């Protein structure tokens, strides 16, 4: 046989063998029996497509909202305030304002301010009941308020801007419901200016013949040292945080 022809036939045989065996290039092929495609040697084609499950971390329970503090000593009034609830207790004593402050501290409190006009009216109602109980026709309640150093004379400041609350809890000036013409800042050569504040209360009605022009529950400035006059009966209101 011609050598060239023999070489040609050999080449054809090799080519056919390669095609039948699916060799070369590492490409995928179909199995003759199942027609199942087998991936080639490329690792990116043979990766597992399933996603591994990762459990979510345990969420701690939501904290409960803080409990509202509403407990006050017996017979004290609860005032609900945006900055925290406040308890007010009313006492009878013929004492000056500084002594009243000391008495309040003896029970873990301080002379109270008035957060709002509503609180002013509530305290006036409690004072009226106290006046009836002790047979007072009129009385005044010492409060935790002081005249500002920049407002020593009448007219230097607006009435609601003349005093400030001293209890470190009461805010704003809505509770300063002064009687007409007050605070007038009367000066005494003995006691100086009227630097403290009290609230008038009457046992009955909204006015009293001894105090024309002063309505029940209105505030008035007074000498801090005065303990048994104008009016004679004295009360004081202590305040502290509810628990």
DSSP characters for 78-146? EE--TT--EEEEEEE----HHHHHHHHHHTT-EE---SSHHHHHHHHHHHHHHHHHTT-SEEEEEEEEE
In the chain, which stretches have pLDDT less than 70? 1-55
pLDDT digits over 191-234, tens only? 999 999 999 999 999 999 999 999 999 999 999 999 988 898 99
Nearest to 185, CA basis, from 199, 201, 196, 174: 196
DSSP 16-38: HHHHHHT-STT--EE-TTT--EE
Give the Cα separation of 236 and 101 in Å (integer).
8
Question: For residue 129, which phi and psi values (nearest 5 degrees)?
Answer: -65, -40
Give me the pLDDT at residue 39, please: 45
Give me the pLDDT at residue 33, please: 42
Q: End-to-end distance of the chain based on CA atoms, in angstroms?
A: 118
Nearest to 86, CA basis, from 240, 227, 243: 240
Q: Is the peptide bond before 183 cis (omega within 30 degrees of 0)?
A: yes
Give me the pLDDT at residue 172, please: 98
Question: For residue 52, which phi and psi values (nearest 5 degrees)?
Answer: -75, 135
Query: Domain locations in the chain?
Result: 77-241
161, 183 Cβ separation under 8 angstroms: no
Give me the pLDDT at residue 11, please: 53
This prediction has a pTM of 0.74
9: left (phi > 0), else alpha (psi -120 to 50), else beta?
A: alpha
Based on C-alpha coordinates, what's the Rg of the chain? 45
Q: 77-241: what fold?
A: Mannose-Binding Protein A; Chain A (3.10.100)
């Amino acid at each position: 046989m011609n050598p060239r022809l023999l070489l040609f036939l050999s080449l054809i045989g090799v080519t056919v063998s390669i095609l039948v065996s699916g060799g070369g290039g590492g490409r995928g092929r179909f199995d003759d029996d199942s027609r199942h495609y087998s991936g080639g040697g490329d690792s990116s084609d043979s990766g597992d497509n399933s996603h591994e499950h990762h459990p979510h971390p345990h969420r701690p329970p939501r904290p409960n909202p803080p409990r509202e503090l509403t407990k006050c000593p017996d017979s004290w009034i609860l005032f609900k305030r945006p900055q925290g609830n406040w308890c007010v207790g009313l006492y009878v004593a013929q004492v000056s304002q500084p002594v009243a402050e000391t008495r309040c501290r003896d029970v873990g409190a301080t002379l109270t301010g008035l957060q709002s006009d509503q609180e002013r009216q509530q305290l006036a109602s409690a004072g009226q009941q106290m006046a009836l109980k002790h047979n007072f026709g009129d009385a005044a309640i010492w409060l935790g308020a002081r005249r500002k150093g920049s407002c020593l004379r009448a007219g230097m400041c607006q009435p609601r801007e003349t005093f400030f609350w001293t209890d470190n809890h009461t805010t704003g000036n809505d509770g300063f419901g002064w009687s007409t013409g007050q605070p007038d800042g009367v000066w005494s050569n003995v006691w100086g200016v009227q630097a403290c504040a009290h609230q008038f209360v009457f046992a009955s009605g909204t006015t009293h013949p001894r105090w024309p022009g002063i309505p029940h529950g209105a505030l008035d400035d007074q000498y801090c040292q005065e303990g048994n006059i104008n009016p004679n009966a004295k009360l004081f209101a202590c305040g502290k945080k509810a628990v």
